[in-house]
């Protein structure tokens, strides 16, 4: 039996979260805050439906998807108002794990084939609201999508006889016996709809209800029992916590068996406080949660390495990491591209805040955005010219010049390297 997931859905109409497809009652003015609430309360994934009719409203929904992706640590599947390949590209670039195509739309099968070949079938989901569409288009759906979103209560047993593609059921029912029946269906990977999308939904508590019915809800499963680990003299397991993207060491903490099991169960780092002698989930008071990406034990089985997605900062002092006080040497690495970019960026930013007489950077800021843009354009052209020259040294010089001027533009417009890195990672 595979694990099941609880997947709330958000319907966006004119920048607001509304109740349902055919019910435009506003449930939240702040779509991003609603998504973060689902994320922080234990949802496993998020479905986002764009109900817009105009291009302007569609672009606003795409922008909201980008903002949602920046505040959640769970996967997002999104769709709605998809009419061409470019719409799929925008949704995927907004951070969605999959773009969801509505199979009731004309030419949906043809579009699905095109985008599947361009982006990969693992990036494509299909939404269905009737059994006939699945039966008639079985071949297309099977070949060009990796997930089915059922929009109504269907004969799930019959559906599973036609396809083995994992499906999420979006239902308007609030009846618990029917919800449990849906989750028990072998081909169903997740439950969505009105029940799990209620504001204030306690996903952890509902998972426990499901577990009592024999439904496996845990997002993670440990390959080792806690008894296999070697504990220290206090009966605890040291945990080194590392950012999964940057490999930066964030903190050191400790776990007992209960903390370890709670971490695996919830997907959020939970520790044992030696001073308070109790469990504590990182972020429960600050909001700076740590979401598990992987847990690895060392060769002696006496130290755990946790790679996490850190929300906010790791240290109670407000520093990104607890290891911020130099003792010997420096951790600056002039061969680390991001560190170099950050250092130059910070110098440019400091010039803007604290102008220096004779500074070329301050000259650009004083002349304003048009001058900065002119220089960015000139430097881009210089790269093209240098690329025609067989000497690679010229290309290095011109690219460096371009990057400097691009960073001046970034500072002028308030864009950081974190913003750029996140955007590239989403793509």
The distance from CA 99 to its chain's CA centroid, rounded to whole angstroms, is 14
For residues 8 and 46, the answer to whether their CB atoms sit within 8 Å is yes
177's enclosing H/E stretch is helix 176-184
Q: What CATH class has 5-212? A: alpha beta
Per DSSP, helices labelled H in 163-269 are 176-184, 203-212, 257-266
- pLDDT tens, residue by residue, 279-302: 999 998 898 999 898 999 999 999
Burial of 242 (0-12, 13-18, 19+ CB in 10 A): buried
User: How many CB atoms are located within 10 Å of the residue 400 CB?
Assistant: 11
């850190």: which residue's tokens? 310
- pLDDT tens, residue by residue, 230-253: 999 999 999 999 998 778 899 999
Let me know if domain 337-426 sits in CATH 1.10.287.1080. yes
The distance from CA 205 to its chain's CA centroid, rounded to whole angstroms, is 23
For residues 78 and 91, the answer to whether their CB atoms sit within 8 Å is yes
The fold of 226-310 is: Ubiquitin-like (UB roll) (3.10.20)
For residues 262 and 239, the answer to whether their CB atoms sit within 8 Å is no
- pLDDT tens, residue by residue, 328-354: 876 656 667 777 888 899 899 999 999
* Residue 389: pLDDT band with limits 50, 70, 90: confident
Annotated domain spans of the chain: 5-212, 226-310, 337-426
Domains 226-310 and 337-426 share a fold: no
Whole-number average pLDDT of the chain:
88
* Residue 17: pLDDT band with limits 50, 70, 90: very high
Going by C-alpha positions, the residue among 152, 118, 116, 117 that lies closest to residue 133 is: 152
């694990």: which residue's tokens? 3
pLDDT in the model for residue 319: 87
pLDDT in the model for residue 130: 66
pLDDT in the model for residue 153: 56
Phi, psi of 347 (to 5 degrees): -65, -45
Q: Counting runs of H as helices and runs of E as strands, what totals does the chain give?
A: 15, 17
């997930």: which residue's tokens? 147
Name every residue whose Cβ is closer than 8 Å to that of residue 155 and which is 6 or more positions away in sequence.
Answer: 131
Residue 135 has pLDDT above 90, yes or no: no
* Residue 101: pLDDT band with limits 50, 70, 90: very high
**Helix 392-413 / helix 369-387 crossing angle, nearest 10 deg:** 160
Burial of 227 (0-12, 13-18, 19+ CB in 10 A): exposed
pLDDT in the model for residue 368: 95
User: Residue 231 has what DSSP assignment?
Assistant: P
Average pLDDT over residues 56-78: 92
- pLDDT tens, residue by residue, 148-171: 898 765 555 555 555 678 889 999
Window from 6-20, 76-90, 173-187, 318-332 with minimum mean pLDDT: 318-332
> pTM to 2 decimals?
0.70
């Amino acid at each position: 039996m595979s694990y099941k997931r609880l997947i709330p859905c958000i319907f966006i109409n004119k920048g607001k979260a509304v109740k349902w497809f055919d019910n435009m009652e506003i449930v939240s003015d702040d779509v991003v805050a609603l998504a973060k609430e689902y994320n922080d309360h234990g949802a496993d994934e998020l479905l986002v439906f764009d109900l817009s009719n105009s291009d302007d409203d569609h672009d606003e929904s795409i922008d909201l998807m980008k903002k949602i992706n920046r505040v959640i640590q769970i996967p997002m599947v999104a769709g709605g108002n998809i009419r061409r390949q470019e719409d799929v590209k925008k949704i995927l670039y907004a951070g969605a794990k999959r773009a969801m195509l509505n199979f009731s739309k004309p030419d949906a099968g043809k579009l699905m084939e095109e985008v599947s070949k361009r982006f990969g079938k693992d990036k494509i989901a299909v939404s269905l609201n009737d059994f006939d569409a699945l039966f008639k288009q079985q071949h297309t759906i099977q070949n060009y999508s990796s997930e089915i979103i059922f929009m109504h209560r269907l004969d799930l047993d019959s559906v599973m006889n036609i396809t083995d593609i994992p499906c999420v059921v979006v239902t308007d029912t609030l009846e618990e016996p029917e919800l449990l029946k849906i989750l028990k269906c072998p081909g169903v990977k997740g439950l969505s709809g009105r029940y799990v999308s209620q504001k204030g939904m306690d996903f952890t508590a509902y998972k426990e209800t499901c577990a009592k019915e024999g439904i496996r809800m845990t997002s993670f499963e440990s390959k080792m029992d806690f008894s296999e680990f070697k504990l220290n003299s206090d009966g605890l397991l040291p945990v080194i916590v590392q950012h999964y993207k940057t490999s930066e060491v964030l903190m050191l903490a400790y776990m007992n068996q209960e903390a370890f099991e709670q971490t695996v169960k919830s997907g959020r780092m939970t520790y044992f406080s030696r001073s308070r002698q109790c469990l504590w989930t990182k972020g429960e008071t600050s909001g700076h949660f740590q979401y598990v990406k992987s847990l690895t034990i060392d060769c002696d089985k006496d130290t755990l390495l946790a790679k996490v997605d850190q929300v906010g900062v790791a240290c109670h002092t407000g520093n990104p990491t607890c290891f911020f006080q130099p003792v010997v040497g420096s951790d600056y690495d002039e061969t680390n591209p991001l560190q170099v970019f950050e250092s130059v960026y910070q110098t440019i930013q400091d010039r803007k805040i604290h102008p220096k007489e004779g500074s070329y950077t301050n000259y650009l800021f004083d002349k304003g955005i048009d001058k900065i843009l002119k220089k960015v354009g000139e430097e881009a052209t210089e790269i093209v010219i240098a690329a025609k020259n067989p000497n690679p040294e010229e290309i290095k010089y011109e690219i460096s010049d371009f990057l400097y001027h691009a960073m001046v533009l970034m500072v002028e417009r308030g864009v950081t390297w974190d913003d750029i890195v996140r955007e590239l990672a989403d793509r």
